[in-house]
Structure 1
Amino acid sequence: MSQGPGDTPHVIPVFVLLPPQTLLLDVAGPLEVLRYANEQQKKMRFVCHYIAVQPNQTTTIGLGLCGLEPLPDVLPAHAMILISGSSSMAPQQPEASKERRALSGWLRRTVSPDTTIVSICSGALIAAEAGLFDGHSCTTHAHCIADLKRIAPLALVQENRLFVEDGKRFSSAGISTGIDLILHLVSTLVSPEVAARIAQIMVVYLRRTTHDPQISPWLSGRNHIHPSIHRAQDAIVANPAEDWTLAHLADIANLSQRHLSRLFREQTGLSVVDYVNLIRVTLARDIISQSRLDMEAVAERSGFASARHLRRIWQQHHEKPPTAFRNLSS
């Protein structure tokens, strides 16, 4: 339902927690998603506050952050706390360690049952020190997994995941996966259409999901720089259900059909048909994990001729049946 001109948007207060030696991309990427979310729709507004122990903060690239708000004594209802990663875990940094303990202590005192926790990269370690992941599934950067298990023995630490959602606890592997996680949140809180539009604006090829490994199928065959092949791939990813004939894609790539076939396999390691099927089956998996549509509807939306066709291609990519992915999201 569209909003009328007099309607007031629902406000979500977002508190961005900045530890010493903040990884700036952990902040900039996710917060750009929220900025675009505010621009792209009117029903929900993310109001962001940048908070730290001190009014100035250091970053890993030497750029200073200033004018930061102090840690609030009380959080508003239904607040979101986004915890950035940092490089301040080394024991030879006593001042940074003291500040991190202050942050985890503040979290322990302040977080309430209606607070949403979002950790990016090693920010999970600060949340873990506060006990916020006890009894919850979570993840972090691959280099920090052992530390997370040590700090939070009661947490259910997941390895090789882009991000993990467990109730009001969200955690990501870090760096670019923070963008994936916030896109997922925007998709859930606002709409999938808005999230997809933001991904397109930010030139993120396509959102990845909470059950993806850290190497996503959406990015398969993208490790090349050939512009014509990227154009064909962009078209397929933007609309996997399209009837993608070789002639149609050759027109988009501005190549002959024979040249496209040769170049596509040369640059991506996949045939055009195999790539289209990979993207379609990945879309089908996302639809299955996020909806209750029957298999015929899933097949139609993801570009397969029938549920039988979908299942045949599915078996080439997944050991588990489609229902296993649906169970993960229930």
Structure 2
Amino acid sequence: MDPQRDPIRVVFVLLPDSLVLDWAGPAEALRIANQRLRAAGQPERFVIEFAGPRPTMRGSVGVALSGLAPLPTQWSGPGWVVLVGLPGDTIATDTPEAQDLLHWLRGQRFTHGGVELITVCAGALLAAHAGALAGRRVTTHHHHLDELRAVEPRCEVVSNRVFVLDPPVYSSAGVTTGIDLMLHRIADTCGEALAAQVAQTMVVALRRGPHDPELSPFLAYRNHLHAALHRVQDAVSEQPQADWSVPRMAEVAHTSARHLTRLFVEHAGVAPLAYLRRLRLAAAQLALASGASVTRAAELSGFGSDTQLRRAWHQFGLPGSPSAGTSASPGQSPRRRTSPVFTPYLKRWNLTPDGEAFTSLSGTLLPVRQHGVPAMLKISHEAEEQAGSLLMAWWNGDGAAPVLAHDGEALLMVRAQGTASLAQMVHEGHDDEATRILCAAAARLHAPRDTPPPPTLVPLTRWFEALWAGAATHGGVFAHSARTARDLLAAPRDVVVLHGDIHHGNVLDFGPAGWLAIDPKGLHGERGFDHANILCNPDGESALVPGRFARRIEVIAEATGIEQRRLLQWVLAWAGLSSVWMLEDGEVPGSTLEVARLTAAALGIAG
């Protein structure tokens, strides 16, 4: 007999008051798997049985169960013993039925590929009382984690996981996670395709894996008793994509915005906008896992753009990028899919890998060589980044890195080989030189071309939309920034194609080709905008060196011919917008906001 294809005897062992959902969901998954196998002309793989110390009993919701088989005494092939949970704060084992079950469990010998043990929810406590978990890694419902540690100190209790695999023991957390674990076991024995069909039939929108946290971001930060704060969290959880601001949240709580922020920090341990960003990120992950594009996921979850979604992704420490992590669920580490992503382009463009792949805010990148020429292959599914690739190709190596090939999500560009760094130049005391290099790079990009630019350029009026709401929420320098931005946008001068993110890390040393730009945002508006971000970089400490702000304004005005007051207005507008984005991300604007205040003072704006 072939143990890989022999029918698997799956015995759900029940006690009085066993949680019905703990066994009904997993059993249904197995039934559907058999049904799918029959439809495909294959033999059923699972023989489903229900057993217990007594032939009749009641389940947790009062349903009468009868015809239960006796606890098995013999096994003739592979088998799974499934232990399920019981209601209650602790799991009592002093009943006659529980004692009979523990006696039977102690007589079982669990082996990988033979008879294996599956626990759902507090079923792990029953296994622990029987001594079946010594030396194993296991999990259980989060209410019973400490109890499990006390009952079996020899096992490693893993918290905040959907399920844990330590063959021949497989344990899941609370209630519905038993379905996740059973889908995983079906995939192991019958293949991922069948498991996916079962999940689809059960309308399980998202299969979770062994590295997923049990606690959803929608349930986190709720361990408090403040009714008004719960009311806000309920409202935000129901519609994370809505146009939430701290004042709007405060209206739900019937309090002030300032007091609501104190409530969030004191009772939930998180700032209100940071809480919102976490929920939106979880919603975006669900959308990505369901097949939505990054742009659509950003829209559905309430992010203003692909860029905001990418920034949140990295802010909260998720590996990879949204485009590389579309199979991930909230809290899950996205699988690395470097090879499948890059393989078609390696073949099509005759490329040889020349280093390790890595991810950045702009996409997933792989150093390569094409006919011996060092290049960089960048993959991004974000519409904004793809528009930037079109712009890079339009610039045709004049001011920007030369593009060797591009096709939708993929961009192949010459790799920077120079050893100089603008940030390092600043740190070594050559800030004037670095600033002039950035101005010269921007001038090359702003120069007119013979061909029309790509149609994907974003007008500055749209780029600044987040500032209007931020000004209404925060007032002060944000309001000054918004008024200044509206005035600038209403009467633009020297309108050109803009890079959109000129700073010390986006203009690189390309050796004989000089300093060239990468990673454009692809905007359209007054050229002064492209110089504003220089004042905030390469880092806060460098930007705020005494006397540097005023000196940079002088150098930029001299290099570009832009009137100093006009340049200051663009810096104030940009610093306010950037600070609003940071607040939306749950970050403290810090040095960027200080640059805004310095600029307002230089313009003679009080307050």
TM-score, normalization by structure 1: 0.71
Give the 3 Å change call, closer, same or farther, for CA 155–264 of structure 1 in structure 2.
closer
Query: Are 2:117 and 1:107 aligned?
Result: no
CA deviations over 1:108-157 (Å, ceiling 9, x no partner): 11334321100000100111111111111001001111111111111111
Contact residue 38 and residue 45 of structure 1 kept, 8 A: yes
Q: Which residue of 1 aligns with 2:289?
A: 237
Q: 1:181: how far off?
A: 0.5
Q: Which residue of 2 aligns with 1:24?
A: 20
Give the 3 Å change call, closer, same or farther, for CA 35–239 of structure 1 in structure 2.
same
* 2-structure distance, mates of 1:122, 1:279: 37
Q: 1:286: how far off?
A: 5.4
Query: Are 2:68 and 1:68 aligned?
Result: yes
Letter in 2 for 1:192: E
Q: 1:75: how far off?
A: 2.5
Give the 3 Å change call, closer, same or farther, for CA 312–47 of structure 1 in structure 2.
same
Query: Are 2:231 and 1:188 aligned?
Result: no
Give the 3 Å change call, closer, same or farther, for CA 51–314 of structure 1 in structure 2.
farther
Equivalent position SS for 1:116 = strand
* 1-structure distance, mates of 2:105, 2:287: 44
Point out which structure has higher relative CO (alpha carbons under 8 A, 6+ apart).
1
Give the 3 Å change call, closer, same or farther, for CA 136–265 of structure 1 in structure 2.
same
Contact residue 82 and residue 118 of structure 1 kept, 8 A: yes
- The structure that has the greater radius of gyration is 2
* 2-structure distance, mates of 1:138, 1:233: 27
Query: Are 2:22 and 1:14 aligned?
Result: no
* 2-structure distance, mates of 1:314, 1:102: 60
Q: Which residue of 1 aligns with 2:302?
A: 265
TM-score, normalization by structure 2: 0.40
Q: 1:239: how far off?
A: 3.0
* 2-structure distance, mates of 1:151, 1:21: 21
Counterpart mapping for 1:72-221 below 5 A: 72-87=72-87, 97-113=95-111, 114-215=114-215
Q: 1:187: how far off?
A: 1.2
Q: 1:311: how far off?
A: 2.4
Q: Which residue of 2 aligns with 1:312?
A: 360
Give the 3 Å change call, closer, same or farther, for CA 26–223 of structure 1 in structure 2.
farther
Letter in 1 for 2:289: V
- Percent of residue pairs bearing the same amino acid type: 32
Give the 3 Å change call, closer, same or farther, for CA 68–183 of structure 1 in structure 2.
same
Equivalent position SS for 1:33 = helix
Contact residue 321 and residue 359 of structure 2 kept, 8 A: no
Equivalent position SS for 1:239 = coil
Letter in 1 for 2:302: R
Give the 3 Å change call, closer, same or farther, for CA 192–106 of structure 1 in structure 2.
same
Query: Are 2:339 and 1:296 aligned?
Result: yes
CA deviations over 1:46-70 (Å, ceiling 9, x no partner): 1011000001122121111111001
* 1-structure distance, mates of 2:294, 2:326: 19
Equivalent position SS for 1:50 = strand
Q: 1:312: how far off?
A: 2.5
Residue range with higher mean Cα deviation, 128-137 or 71-80: 71-80
Contact residue 75 and residue 110 of structure 1 kept, 8 A: no
Letter in 1 for 2:33: A
Equivalent position SS for 2:95 = helix
* 1-structure distance, mates of 2:362, 2:128: 37
Give the 3 Å change call, closer, same or farther, for CA 281–309 of structure 1 in structure 2.
farther
Q: Which residue of 1 aligns with 2:474?
A: none
Q: Which residue of 2 aligns with 1:36?
A: 32
Equivalent position SS for 1:10 = coil
Give the 3 Å change call, closer, same or farther, for CA 145–223 of structure 1 in structure 2.
same
Which structure 1 segments of 5+ residues have no match?
Answer: 1-7, 251-259, 316-330
* 2-structure distance, mates of 1:192, 1:132: 29
CA deviations over 1:252-287 (Å, ceiling 9, x no partner): xxxxxxxx94x6418xxx967778954842627454
Contact residue 13 and residue 84 of structure 2 kept, 8 A: yes
Q: 1:191: how far off?
A: 0.9
Letter in 1 for 2:141: H
Contact residue 164 and residue 172 of structure 2 kept, 8 A: yes
Equivalent position SS for 1:283 = coil
* 2-structure distance, mates of 1:116, 1:13: 10
CA RMSD between the two structures: 4.1
Give the 3 Å change call, closer, same or farther, for CA 217–78 of structure 1 in structure 2.
farther
* 2-structure distance, mates of 1:271, 1:36: 41
Aligned match of 2:327 in 274, 279, 283?
Answer: 283
Contact residue 53 and residue 71 of structure 1 kept, 8 A: yes
Contact residue 117 and residue 170 of structure 1 kept, 8 A: yes
Contact residue 264 and residue 272 of structure 1 kept, 8 A: no
* 2-structure distance, mates of 1:76, 1:201: 31
